[in-house]
Amino acid sequence: MKISRFVVFLVFAVILGTANIILSQEPLFKGYEVLVVKDLEVTPNAPAPDSAGSQIAEKVVYQVRRYSQKYGLFEAIVKEGAQEASSGKKTLLIQGTVKEYTQPTVGRRMGRSFIPGGEFTGTAAFAAHYQFIDQQSGKVIYETDLRTTSSGSHDTVEYAMERSGEALAKTITKYKGK
């Protein structure tokens, strides 16, 4: 009987202790007022067109603006070089590298049609490595790799990139504390 009470007490202590640590952490992107998105780098050995870096940057700006309108994330969200952001404000910079750019194929689509529910999955994919940098100090605050695929009805790399932009917007919303 004493052992079971001790175990219950120990479990409660662990749960409350970890919850306090999780809830007391400061959101990573709190205090940033401006977001600047740079064109992602397309390395020479990456199987992607040179325009992929610019395309994903535009999609990220669009998706983060959507989320910012809903949750009030940033005062300004711009693509680097498009327009000058408000100077003197705390600025978060996003840069990265394109890792994967996979075009859809008929063969993959046919192969997936034999899997139950496979016809609803897409065959195109996009992956990138993103870095979030404090513009004033140049310090990398957070890094993440995101890989997204298309869906069956929208089987294009552009749609996979759109989903990658939305996944990045969700990540920003999470770490902004909204």
Domain extents in the chain: 27-176
Give the C-alpha distances (Å, rounded to integers) separating 145 from 21, 78, 103, 114: 25, 22, 19, 30
| CA gap 29, 15 in Å, rounded | 26
Least confident window among 23-32, 75-84, 85-94, 136-145: 23-32
For residue range 42-76, list pLDDT tens digits in order.
Answer: 988 888 888 999 999 999 999 999 999 999 999 99
The amino acid at residue 104 is: P
Structure tokens at 39: 């064109």
Q: Place 102 in a pLDDT band, splitting at 50, 70 and 90.
A: confident
In three-state secondary structure terms, 177 is: coil
Mean local confidence (pLDDT), 7-34? 66
Q: Quote the percentage of the chain above a pLDDT of 70.
A: 72
- As a whole number of angstroms, the distance between CA 44 and CA 134 comes to 27
Q: How many other C-beta atoms are found inside a 10 Å radius of the C-beta of residue 52? A: 23
> In the prediction, which pLDDT does 118 show?
53
Which residue has better confidence, 21 or 175?
A: 175
Please, what CATH class does the domain formed by 27-176 belong to?
Answer: alpha beta
* Rounded CA separation 69/63 (Å): 10
* Residue-wise pLDDT tens digits, 112-140: 555 666 555 667 889 999 999 999 999 99
- Mean pLDDT, range 16-41, rounded to an integer: 76
How many residues does this entry show for the chain?
178
For every residue of 130-155, DSSP letters joined together read: EEEEETTT--EEEEEEEEEEEESSS-
